[in-house]
Amino acid sequence: MAVVATERPFHVLAVDDSLPDRKLIERLLKTSSFQVTTVDSGSKALQFLGIHDDDASTVSVHAHQLDITVNLIITDYCMPGMTGYDLLKKIKESSSLRDIPVVIMSSENIPSRINRCLEEGADEFFLKPVRLSDMSKLKPHILKSRCREHYQQEQQHQQSDSNSNSNDCSNPTNKSSCDSSRKRKAEDNGEILPQKNRPRHS
Amino acid sequence: MSAANQLAALIANMFATGLLDDQFQQLQMLQDPSAPNFVSEVVTLFCHDGERIIGELAKLLDKPTVDFDRVDAFVHQLKGSSASVGALKVKNTCIQFREFCQQKSKDGCLKTLETVRINFYELRGKFQTMLQLERQVNGFPPNN
């Protein structure tokens, strides 16, 4: 019998120290059918995600243990204390969080800043003020990372010689897009590498 | 003139005189029955935030030795939130302000702070009228 998954909206964690900006990003995300949590600092973001600031790379409570799933993190760049870039680094250093797509927002169009973020693994860079049209760029990153995750899970199942059951995909509606992207990836060898290698940005 | 007409005229005037830019229209587009007070909430947050920042700037510029990095950080904040609500004139004044911070010119900063203060309070006054008119349009009596 096929597993019927309840269609839950994707959950975005938005990080911004400015209150008006938090209000705006929250509304933009909700209008685009995302579930939203907003926090006002990088350290609060890490707390919410379940890691301890000082030892992010070694001690990490898996987000699933706390029954919280975050599908994407969108963060301001300029924040006091921990910048968006610092937060990005911590996320990418964490084995439990590194697969979550991260988007950086900034009011300043500084190419070296943008490149630094992309090189560190940010999936997208938005110039502020963020607009409704920017929201459509978020879902592809979420779906891409979920497909990668499902593909890796499939790989692991195959390697352990258990029955590879394509019902692994918890969301049936994504199954076809996962299958087709898996087929594409089988042809294009570059993308099959495990997440650690981060082949996207050289 | 009905409250609705006054409101439309006020907003049109704010666009025409360069107080607001199209980002404000983005905010209006985000308001709907599921978030009927969105614009007034953001505008109110901006007004409180702006007042707080101007107060901090005044304190920092009142010191014998000015910490221009801290001044710049606050101006950056105000520039950001004005950009987010479409407060064009205030945003542009902040851009000028940051140049004086880069030049470490106390005089330039003080003069621009005055301009920011004037522009901000002009905008805030019009926002307050806007919110009052909106309340009337929605059937509430005007606040005192």
What is the spatial distance between Cα A155 and Cα A168, in angstroms, rounded to a whole number? 11
- pLDDT recorded at residue A196: 42
Contact status of A105 with chain B (Cβ, < 8 Å): no
What distance in Å separates the CA atoms of residue A166 and residue A161, rounded to the nearest whole number? 14
- Subunit contact A18:B49, Cβ cutoff 8 A: yes
Cα of A68 vs its chain's centroid, Å: 13
Residue B84 and residue B30: Cα distance in Å, rounded?
A: 13
- Calculate how close chain B gets to A16, using CA atoms only, in Å: 11
Task: Say whether B45 and A78 touch across the interface (CB within 8 A).
Answer: no
Contacts 24+ apart (CB under 8 A), A107-114: A107/A78, A107/B76, A107/B79, A107/B80, A107/B83, A108/A77, A108/A78, A113/A77, A113/A85
Q: How many residues does chain B have?
A: 144
* Listed range (A61-65, A141-145, A154-158) with the worst mean pLDDT: A61-65
pLDDT above 90 coverage of chain A, percent: 56
Predicted pLDDT of residue A147: 85
Interface test with A, best of B84, B92, B102 (most A CBs within 10 A): B84
- Which residues of chain B, if any, have pLDDT below 50? none
Look at residue A65 in the predicted model and tell me its pLDDT: 52
Binding-site residues on chain B for chain A (CB distance < 8 A): 23, 26-27, 29-30, 32, 35, 38, 41-42, 45-46, 48-49, 73, 76-77, 79-81, 83-85
pLDDT at A56: 47
Residue B18 CA to residue B73 CA, distance in Å, equals: 25
Q: Which amino acid is at B23?
A: Q
Give the ipTM.
Answer: 0.93
Instruction: List chain B residues with CB under 8 Å of A129.
Output: 23, 26, 83-84
A22 to chain B, minimum CA–CA distance in Å?
A: 9
pLDDT of residue B106: 97
Determine the Cα–Cα distance for residues A130 and A106; give it in Å rounded to an integer.
9
* Residue-level pLDDT at A157: 84
Token digits for B131? Answer: 């919110």
Q: Which of A13-17, A53-57, A107-111, A183-187 has the lowest mean pLDDT?
A: A183-187
Contacts of B87 (CB under 8 A, 6+ apart): B19, B20, B24, B46, B81, B123
> What CA–CA distances, in Å, run from A196 to A202, B115, B119?
13, 52, 51
Q: Tell me: the pLDDT tens digits for A6-16?
A: 678 999 999 99
Secondary structure letter of residue B35 according to DSSP: B
- Indicate the pLDDT class of residue A169, thresholds 50, 70 and 90: very low
Q: Which residue of B has its CA nearest to A133?
A: B26
Nearest CA in chain B to A19: B45
**If you count residue pairs, one on A and one on B, with CB atoms under 8 Å apart, how many are there?**
54
Alpha helices in A50-187, H assignment, sequence order: 84-93, 111-119, 132-135, 138-159, 172-187
| CA angle B133–B136–B142, rounded 5-degree value | 85
Mean per-residue pLDDT, A131-136: 96
Would you call B79 and A107 a contact, using CB atoms and an 8 Å cutoff?
yes
Put simply, the answer to whether A24 touches B76 (Cβ < 8 Å) is: no
The two three-digit tokens of residue B8, written as one number: 């439309």
Cis peptide before A129 (omega within 30 of 0): yes
CB A139 within 8 A of CB A177: no
pTM comes to 0.81
Provide φ and ψ at B120, rounded to 5°.
Answer: -65, -45
* pLDDT greater at residue A18 or residue A171: A18
pLDDT value at A160 more than 80? no
Structure tokens at A98: 């590194």
Q: Which helix (H) or strand (E) holds B118?
A: helix B106-137
- Which residues in chain A have their CB less than 8 angstroms from residue B84's CB? 18, 20-21, 24, 128-129
Select the more confidently predicted residue: A83 or A189. Answer: A83
Nearest-neighbour CA in chain A from B6: distance (Å): 26
Cα distance between residue A111 and residue A127, in whole Å: 11
Contact A168, A157 (CB under 8 A): yes
CA distance B1 to chain A (A): 32
pLDDT of residue A49: 94
pLDDT confidence tier of residue A92, bands split at 50, 70 and 90:
very high
Q: Which of A168-172, A192-196, B42-46 comes out lowest in average pLDDT?
A: A192-196
> Which residues, in sequence order, are bridge partners of residue A39?
A15
Residue A173 CB contacts under 8 Å (≥ 6 apart), including other chains: A7
Listed in sequence order, the residues at least 6 apart from B1 whose beta carbon sits closer than 8 Å to its beta carbon are B9
Query: Percent of chain A at pLDDT above 70?
Result: 68
The minimal CB distance from B81 to the residues A20, A131, A132 is found for: A20
3-state helix, strand, coil in chain A (%, to 5): 50, 15, 40
**Closest CA of chain B from A115, distance in Å:** 21
Confidence of residue A5 (pLDDT cuts 50, 70, 90): low
| pLDDT tier at A3, thresholds 50, 70, 90 | low
pLDDT digit string (tens) for A41-76? 999 999 999 986 555 444 445 444 556 799 999 999
